[in-house]
A and B are shown apart, each in its own frame.
Chain A
Amino acid sequence: QVQLVESGGGLVKPGGSLRLSCAASGFTFSDHYLTWIRQAPGKGLEWVSYISDSSHYTNFPDSVNGRFTISRDNARNSLYLQMNSLRVEDTAVYYCARDRGENDIIGYFDSWGQGTLVTVSS
């Protein structure tokens, strides 16, 4: 079955960097757009980044644009999120999720990982 497993979270100081990974299995990884979505403690969901199936297209909301980079390695069935210039408000559980569409974006997510916690604190 579809499986997404995040890793790389941890405690980092404000201004620091962290790289999250998401290992995928159980589906044709290269056929799907992928995304990172975060959830601050006790709060709702916020979309963080998107990458197309071939990596040609990426997108970010203003809150992380210029600080976060998303990438993928289709040969390794892996998704990444490079987070730089981290702020206290970036503290959240970060989920990777699969867009339901194949070779095209639909915009909703039918499979999610369990998440990895990023804590930004001095």
Chain B
Amino acid sequence: EIVMTQSPATLSVSPGERVTLSCRASQSVSTNLAWYQQKPGQPPRLLIYDASTRATGIPASFRGSGSGTEFTLTISSLQSEDFAIYYCQQYNHWPSLTFGGGTRVEIK
């Protein structure tokens, strides 16, 4: 099973700051990686797929990058609505799909 490791577990930031979240795979997943955002009491929402393609309706402030085993989600200027938990998910090693443990982005 591919293990996805996200860091840090929690990030305390101020509104307007730039944020960088990391996701590492235990073996290469090529660019078959997605990012999701989850707010309390809500289901996850797809942000990024294929490592760097924004899903429909996702603002340009969200940027995904990386390939192989190292991936990054960058939020260029954090808005109040961006405080949430972010998960990465690999889909390269089908049928085993695995998620990272999540990074919580909280208000500093």
Binding site for B on A (CB under 8 A): 35, 44-47, 50, 59, 61, 95, 97, 100, 105-110, 112-115
Contacts and interface: CB of A to CB of B under 8 A. Distances in A.
Determine chain B's interface SS by DSSP, over half rule. loop
B97 A115 contact: no
B91 interface: yes
Contacts of B97: 35, 47, 50, 107
Nearest to B34: A108
A47 B100 CA distance: 12
A7 B64 CA distance: 34
A43 to B, nearest CB: 8
Interface residues of B, number: 24
Contact of A44 (B45, B91, B102): B102
B99 A45 contact: yes
Nearest to B90: A107
A44 B43 contact: no
B68 interface: no
Nearest to B41: A114
A113 B43 CA distance: 7
Contacts of B101: 44
Contact of B89 (A61, A95, A108): A108
Contacts of B43: 95, 97, 112-115
Interface of B: 32, 34, 36, 42-46, 49, 55-56, 87, 89, 91-92, 94-102
B94 to A, nearest CB: 6
A112 B44 contact: yes
A114 B44 CA distance: 9
Contacts of B45: 112
A45 B99 CA distance: 6
Contacts of B46: 100, 108-110
Contacts of B100: 44
Contact of B94 (A44, A97, A107, A110): A107
Q: Which one of B36, B42, B46 has the greatest number of beta carbons of chain A within 10 Å?
A: B46
A112 B46 CA distance: 9
Contact of B95 (A46, A50, A106): A50
Nearest to B33: A108
